[in-house]
């Protein structure tokens, strides 16, 4: 293994570590939300600093590898994909932090009932599974598994649509609680965005493996 290959292996190791850490953050956020556990939520926020630090390290290492080795073909696609996926992972980590802050600031029985009514935890669990399966697709160089993410994200989108309608109906019934309902809509939207992030990651995996750009291609 030459020096360039060693650098790629080290980069990949940090990258997978970040992927696993962000997935754990999302899973922890889901648990915190399900029980409105503020201690778990605070732990998520304490871990966010480490994720941000690794995000910057990975980005810097990618820039250094490009500058020093001028990679081409699949090696270049790998590094470009790492840069974009790393950015997506950082956004997923931010979503976990936002959910944690919601639990700390807004956790009460009112929201517990709404979480059940909107199937927010069902959405969240699927979003966590999507992120885990994108990592499996990446590690196994499996573009077909990456493509399966797109259909599964549609399932999250459908739950999100139903959740929106349910909350709107609740606002009509209890307009005096509109501020709380709007906070719930914002929370559900963030969970839905976690699914979108996995879809974006799947597109980058396919780009890396097949040199195909799927953005803006529609269904």
pLDDT at 63 over 90: yes
Q: Minimal CA–CA distance to 130: which of 183, 191, 171, 175?
A: 191
Predicted confidence (pLDDT) per residue in 9-41, tens digit: 999 999 999 999 999 999 999 999 999 999 999
Query: How does pLDDT run across 115-145, given as a tens digit for each residue?
Result: 999 999 999 999 999 999 999 999 999 999 9
| pTM of the complete model | 0.94
Vertex 59 angle, CA 54 and 65, to 5°:
120
Domains (ranges, CATH) in the chain? 3-210 (1.20.58.220)
pLDDT of 215: 63
């Amino acid at each position: 293994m030459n020096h360039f290959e060693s650098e790629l292996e080290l980069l990949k190791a940090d990258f997978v570590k970040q992927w696993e850490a962000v997935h754990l953050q999302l899973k922890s956020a889901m648990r915190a939300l399900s029980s409105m556990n503020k201690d778990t939520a605070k732990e998520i926020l304490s871990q966010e600093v480490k994720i941000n630090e690794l995000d910057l390290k990975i980005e810097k290492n990618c820039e250094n590898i490009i500058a020093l080795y001028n990679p081409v073909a699949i090696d270049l696609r790998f590094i470009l994909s790492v840069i974009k996926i790393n950015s997506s992972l950082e956004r997923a980590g931010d979503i976990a932090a936002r959910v944690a802050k919601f639990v700390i600031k807004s956790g009460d029985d009112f929201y517990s009932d709404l979480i059940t009514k909107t199937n927010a935890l069902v959405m969240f669990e699927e979003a966590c599974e999507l992120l885990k399966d994108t990592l499996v697709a990446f590690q196994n160089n499996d573009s077909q598994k990456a493509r399966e993410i797109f259909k599964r994200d549609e399932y999250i989108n459908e739950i999100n649509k139903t959740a929106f309608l349910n909350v709107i109906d609740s606002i009509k019934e209890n307009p005096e609680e509109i501020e709380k309902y709007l906070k719930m809509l914002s929370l559900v939207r963030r969970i839905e965005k976690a699914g979108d992030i996995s879809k974006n990651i799947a597109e980058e995996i396919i780009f890396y493996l097949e040199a195909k750009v799927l953005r803006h291609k529609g269904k």
